[in-house]
Amino acid sequence: MEAFILPTETIVHRASALLERFHSLPKYAAENKLLLPQDFDPTRMGGYLCLFDTKHDESYLFQIGKIPTTLDPEYVTKREKYLRFALKKAMSINQEKKILSSQTDFKVKGGVKADDQRIMSFSGLSPEGDEALVILLAYQCSWISFEYFMELTTLSQNPYLINATFKDYLLAA
C-alpha cells in the first residue's frame, strides 16, 4: 500500500464520506432545484474500491458502504459482481494503458489511472457515479493535481463532475 501514501483507514474514510455525499444528493438536488443525473440510483448503497499498485503488481480491495446480497442473473450475487467489476476496471486500465476504464475494451466507467503507479476503481453505484467517486477520491487524496482533475472531468464528461454545483457539493465530503 506504500504507493498510495495515506493510511488505509484514511482512504476508506474518504471513500465512505464521498459515498455518503452521493446518498445525500437527492435532498441536495431538491433543495437547490437541480435535476439529478439520469443514472442516479438511490438503492445502490455501497460497493468495492480497488487500489492497484502497478509497480508492485498489487491490488487492494475494500468494501465501502453496504452491498446488497441479492442474486444477480450473471453472477451469484451483486456483491460478487461489484467485486469482479472493480478489479476488472483497474486491470483493464493497466493492461491497455488507458486513463479511464470507459476507454478500454471493457468499456465500463468507474476506473481511473492517477499516474504510472496508481490505478483506482469503484463498482457499486451507477457507472457515472462509480467514475465520479474515484476521480473525486484521487483528487481528495492528492494522488492527482487539480489540473489533472479538471482534465479528467473534461475527458469523462461525467454529469456529477461537469455540473459545478454537484462537483463542489461532492468535493466538500
Beta bridge partners of 100: 112
- pLDDT at position 74: 87
Q: Which of 144, 139, 149, 4 is nearest to 62 (CA)?
A: 4
Contact yes or no for 27/36 (Cβ under 8 A): no
Q: Please report the pLDDT score of residue 75 as a whole number.
A: 85
- CATH code, domain carrying 29: 3.30.450
Q: What is the pLDDT of residue 68?
A: 86
pLDDT confidence of residue 65: 97
Range of the domain at 61: 2-171
Q: Which pLDDT value is given to residue 91? A: 97
Residue 45: all three cell numbers together: 448503497
Residue 170 C-alpha cell reads as: 461532492
Rounded to the nearest 5°, which phi and psi values hold at 108? -115, 130
Question: In angstroms, rounded to a whole number, what is the distance separating the alpha carbons of residues 34 and 89?
Answer: 30
Using alpha carbons, select from 65, 60, 45 the residue that is nearest to residue 2.
60
pLDDT tens for each residue of the chain, 173 residues long: 677 888 899 999 999 999 999 999 999 999 999 999 999 999 999 999 999 999 999 999 999 999 988 888 888 899 999 999 999 999 999 999 999 999 999 999 999 999 999 999 999 999 999 999 999 999 999 999 999 999 999 999 999 999 999 999 999 98
Structural domain total, the chain: 1
Helices 164-171 and 8-23: crossing angle in degrees, nearest 10, is 140
Q: Which pLDDT score is estimated for 125?
A: 97
Cell of 71: 442474486
Q: Which amino acid type is present at position 20?
A: E
pLDDT at residue number 173: 83
Return the pLDDT at 73: 86
Give Cβ neighbours of residue 108 (< 8 Å, ≥ 6 apart): 85, 88, 89, 101, 102, 127
How far apart CA 22 and CA 28 sit, in angstroms, is 10
Give the pTM. 0.94
- Structure-block grid coordinates of residue 156: 469523462
Neighbours of 85 (CB within 10 A): 25
